[in-house]
Amino acid sequence: MTVKVLILEDNPVARSFLCRVVRESFSDAITITEAGDLETARRHISLTGGSQGLHGVDPFKLMMVDLELPDGSGMELLAELSHYPATKIVTTLYSDDDHLFPALQCGADGYLLKEDRFEVLVEELQKIVRGQPPLSPAIARRLLTHFRPGGADSPAPDSGFMVTPFTTSKPVPIEKVLDHERLTPRESEVLTYLSKGFTIKEIASLMAIKWFTVNDHIKSIYKKLNVSSRAEAAVLASKQGLV
Amino acid sequence: MGEPATPNTRRAARDSLFEASAFEHSTDVGGTAFGWRRQALIAAAVLGCLVVFALARWLAATPQVGGEWMAGADGALVVRELPKSRDSRESPGSQQPARPGASQPLTVVGIGLQGEAPLAVDALLLHRWPRWQVDDTLRDRQLHQHEALAQLLARSAGSVQLHTADGTLREAAVAARGYAGLGWVFWPLNGLALLLYLFAVVLMVSKPQPRNALFVVMALCQAGNLVFIALASANGLGSPMGAMTSDLPVRATLDLCTAAAAVHTFALRPEGARGSPRFPGVALLAWAALPAWWLAVAVGTGLPLWWLAQGACLLLGAAALAVAHSSQRQHPDAHGLVLRRMATAALASLALVTLAVALGANAGGSTARAVAAAASTAWYLFLTYLLLLTPFLARRRQLLREFALLAGVSTIVTSLDLLFVAVFSLSAFTSLAVAVFIGLGLYAAARQWVLQHLIGSSVLSTERTFDHLYRAARELQARPQRYPQLLTQLMRELFDPLEVQAVDRVPVRARLLGGGSALVVPMRQSDDAGGVAATHSRALVLRHAQRGQRLFTVEDARLADRVVEQLRRAVAYDAAVERGRFEERQRIAQDLHDDIGARLLTLMYQAQTREMEDYIRHTLQDLKTLTRGLAATEHRLSHAAGEWKADLTQRLQVARARLDWRLHVDHDRRLTVVQWSALTRVLRELVSNALYHGHATHVEVDLRLDGPLLRLQVADDGDGRAPAAWAHGLGLGGVRKRVKLLGGEVAWAENQPRGIVCTVRVPDFPAPR
């Protein structure tokens, strides 16, 4: 059985390049569906069982979504597909956290920077699929702010040179935050190191743990980000009377 | 608790009082309180007017002998133009009725009723100032003549007989003085007395405090003195009964009261030490001078009474000055300084007047009388003006200046007028004209001096004020978070106060405290100054303008208000401009990134060679750095370092090389966009060189920031050699250019055992403003 992959990218040259990357990355037989805009992508997805992916006989296993599309932002699709059982990867030229962070909140499992070299992209893609999503210092910093008790509106941590002890006895927010929406001290520590540019291996040795444990923390953070943002969305929706 | 207050606690108490009076001023004049105040004021005004009119009526009803009385040679009494009595047809004086003004002056040696021994009179009858009669025996004679004449006139039935020096008898009419005979200075002097009295009442009614009570005492005493002078200014011969005998004791008491109150006032200063005189002993002693003087009069010391009174007044004045000086040294205070200057002026002039009168008395005769009258009147007027001035020290400067000048000039004009009439025997009109002329000259000359010395002028010219304001606004634009410091600095420059203090209350407008000793300026924070809101609104209290040499005035308060408002506007405007700029930059960045970035990407995918692809990738990355620099306002060094490291790690990993990253920064700081983008691109370029030209397998990056010195070293183990022989292409040229932009230098050298080491040194890596 072949692995179905959806590539949503408006630039045909880039699309074919990404196809090459995907084919290079996996040894399995692969069927690639290409889409140039959101509408085409939605049509393809509905053919395979709709955005929930529940009734689909043969859903996409991997989706590469560009953010800048002629008829909207890939972010919209990601938000619609938050329950779709596929590995969703954002491919973008924007490497800054302002663009990437919302995408991750929408449930992306990782991101690829389109200007990277072919072999880098292949490696990164493999890692994401294996469950080792990338986390740049900027995003790590943004995550720290996001999960900091007191809300995501407070400014970024002021100094990366100060290793602040992450204790749970920080100012308790008035609203009870559920445990699965809060970072563990270990996860916070990992994020702090990442924000300073340490590699996963370096972090592992600094924290005296295995590198895949660090990776587990990162995966967990990704999940919490998605969960917490979905909870936020739900709260927002109920406030606006949408639900 | 019982121990004496330390200066600090006293200062603290003073401050709290300061604030209390600063911010709770408007609460004490409530609606109901206003009612009784107004009624009391009206009642007092009516009472004062009634008293003045009663006096006028009394004086008008006093019988007098009309005519132009003057002193003749040898102290004799001379009359000219004796008004005709009812039966003057028989009198010899009526022989020349057709030639008015040509009547011969008569020397009068006695005044009597028909069939009675005449009262011997001389020019002493013209001296109506027993208080300013230096010689005791002369005063006794003077008082005797005045009283005897008053009794005589009271008994006369319409006329008296004048015994002339040549033995003839003249009939002179005796009539009530009438309102026309009160003299031209009677009403102005009484008006002034009334004004002073009303001032005192207003002050007492609006703020009943011990200090104000002392002012009231001084004001009332001076009003009393003015009334006495007014009484003495009446035309004709003949004073009201008792007016002359009471002159010396009453007026000496009034003078001593004034002096003692002055001492007490200065002993109460500085403000805030309310209720407890700082020199209680001195105040007590001052008041004790009063009974002491009376005792001396009663017992008799052998000293002339005038000298006794003057001596006591001068001594008390000196004591007041000494107290003022000592309290001023402990607590410099502009208000106190101005008051001290006023007291000095009053005392100095009193000493001069005393000297003049004493010298005049030696000369004797009409000179003595003229000097005593003119000098003392001038001095009392001067004191009155000073008293009237005191409550207005911190009010409108323009008004104050003009008032002070007018007061001074009119004092001089009055005294000159009196002097000319008395000494040079000029006619009233001529002397007035000359006096006014001289007065105007003095006004023009004294204007500048008074402006600068008595009240103190603004040291800053408009130009410099504008300069200060402009600089503060510009600096505020650059660093809005420094608003409190900048405002404080600006206020210092504008007013040069001794003390500046921030308090947590917020007055709506700038306002004066302590009669102009202090100024409260609200620090209004602009709402759109972004991120600055943390320093919440407060107020500045400035104390003692111009190093305590000047009082704050209402104009100063308005100026401070305008300055604060202008700064707020400047900040708001700059914030708007900055926001607009930022949005514009972001738009440009977005366009560049989206359009050029996408095309470069397409180009990169289609690149024929690996070098071409790398070159385009490099360009794309530069473009991204550029657009990010455009969009962002600033970067933290720690954050940037983290990103650099992650970026380099990834690139070296791809190239199968190892990175040694060392970072040493003494403290985290912000990078400007220029610094950030320059360092990002230099680092990227240097590592690219090591990887792609040197084929290095190991790259060491060492970044240090020690104070202002930045050092970046990139060392590799590649096969690059002899850097001096390199052709500087686009890459290395770019590095040089960017390092130069940072104000530093870059050098390449051979690394041991192999490779290249590049060192970037920026000796003065500027911190962002």
Cross-chain residue pair A197–B646, CB shorter than 8 Å = yes
Give me B236's structure tokens.
Answer: 């004709």
Question: Would you say B111 and B121 are in contact if contact means Cβ atoms under 8 Å apart?
Answer: yes
Contact of A113 with chain B, judged by CB distance below 8 Å, is answered with no
Question: Would you say B254 and B221 are in contact if contact means Cβ atoms under 8 Å apart?
Answer: yes
Question: Would you say A61 and A87 are in contact if contact means Cβ atoms under 8 Å apart?
Answer: yes
d(CA B660, CA B488): 49
Whole-prediction pTM value?
0.53
Cross-chain residue pair A117–B661, CB shorter than 8 Å = no
d(CA B680, CA B673): 10
Instruction: Quote the minimal CA–CA distance from B750 to chain A in Å.
Output: 29
**How much is the mean pLDDT over chain B?**
78
Contact of B612 with chain A, judged by CB distance below 8 Å, is answered with no
Instruction: Quote the minimal CA–CA distance from B617 to chain A in Å.
Output: 6
Question: Would you say B229 and B377 are in contact if contact means Cβ atoms under 8 Å apart?
Answer: yes
Q: How far is CA B474 from CA B481, B483, B523, B528, B571, in A?
A: 13, 11, 18, 17, 9
Contact of B460 with chain A, judged by CB distance below 8 Å, is answered with no
Nearest to B646 among A13, A114, A137 (CB): A137
Instruction: Quote the minimal CA–CA distance from A43 to chain B in Å.
Output: 26
Closest residue by Cα to residue B13 from B275, B363, B287: B275
pLDDT computed for residue B276 by the predictor: 47
Instruction: Quote the minimal CA–CA distance from A207 to chain B in Å.
Output: 18
Q: How far is CA B727 from CA B619, B716, B732, B759, in A?
A: 20, 19, 9, 18
**Cβ contacts of B642 on chain A, cutoff 8 Å:** 137, 141, 160, 195-197
Give the highest mean pLDDT range of A238-242, B368-372, B380-384, B553-557.
B380-384
Contact of B654 with chain A, judged by CB distance below 8 Å, is answered with yes
Nearest to B602 among A13, A136, A195 (CB): A13
**Cβ contacts of A199 on chain B, cutoff 8 Å:** 646, 649
Query: Chain B interface, mutation test: which of A67, A93, A94, A116, most B Cβ atoms within 10 Å?
Result: A93
Per-residue pLDDT of chain A (243 residues; tens, 9 = 90+): 688 899 999 888 889 999 999 999 888 888 899 998 999 998 888 887 666 655 556 788 899 999 888 888 888 888 888 878 888 999 988 777 777 888 888 888 888 888 888 888 898 899 888 888 888 888 888 888 887 765 444 444 444 443 333 333 344 444 444 555 678 888 889 988 988 888 888 899 999 999 889 988 988 888 888 776 666 656 655 555 544
Cross-chain residue pair A119–B654, CB shorter than 8 Å = yes
Cross-chain residue pair B601–A199, CB shorter than 8 Å = no
Cross-chain residue pair A196–B606, CB shorter than 8 Å = no
pLDDT computed for residue B699 by the predictor: 93
Contact of A196 with chain B, judged by CB distance below 8 Å, is answered with yes
Residues in chain A: 243
Contact of B12 with chain A, judged by CB distance below 8 Å, is answered with no
Give me B467's structure tokens.
Answer: 């300069």
| Predicted complex ipTM | 0.78
Confidence of residue B420 (pLDDT cuts 50, 70, 90): low
Contact of A165 with chain B, judged by CB distance below 8 Å, is answered with no
Cross-chain residue pair A160–B621, CB shorter than 8 Å = no
Give me B136's structure tokens.
Answer: 């005791």
Cross-chain residue pair A14–B593, CB shorter than 8 Å = no
Contact of B650 with chain A, judged by CB distance below 8 Å, is answered with yes
pLDDT computed for residue B402 by the predictor: 65
Token look-up 């490291």 returns: B645
d(CA B120, CA B475): 87
Confidence of residue B23 (pLDDT cuts 50, 70, 90): very low
Contact of A96 with chain B, judged by CB distance below 8 Å, is answered with yes
d(CA B471, CA B475): 6
Cross-chain residue pair B639–A120, CB shorter than 8 Å = no
d(CA B497, CA A156): 41
The secondary element (H helix, E strand) that includes residue B705 is strand B698-706
pLDDT computed for residue B700 by the predictor: 93
Residues 126-155 of A with CB under 8 A from B: 136-138, 141
Q: φ and ψ at B743, to 5 degrees?
A: 85, 30
Query: Chain A interface, mutation test: which of B650, B670, B703, most A Cβ atoms within 10 Å?
Result: B650
pLDDT computed for residue A21 by the predictor: 92
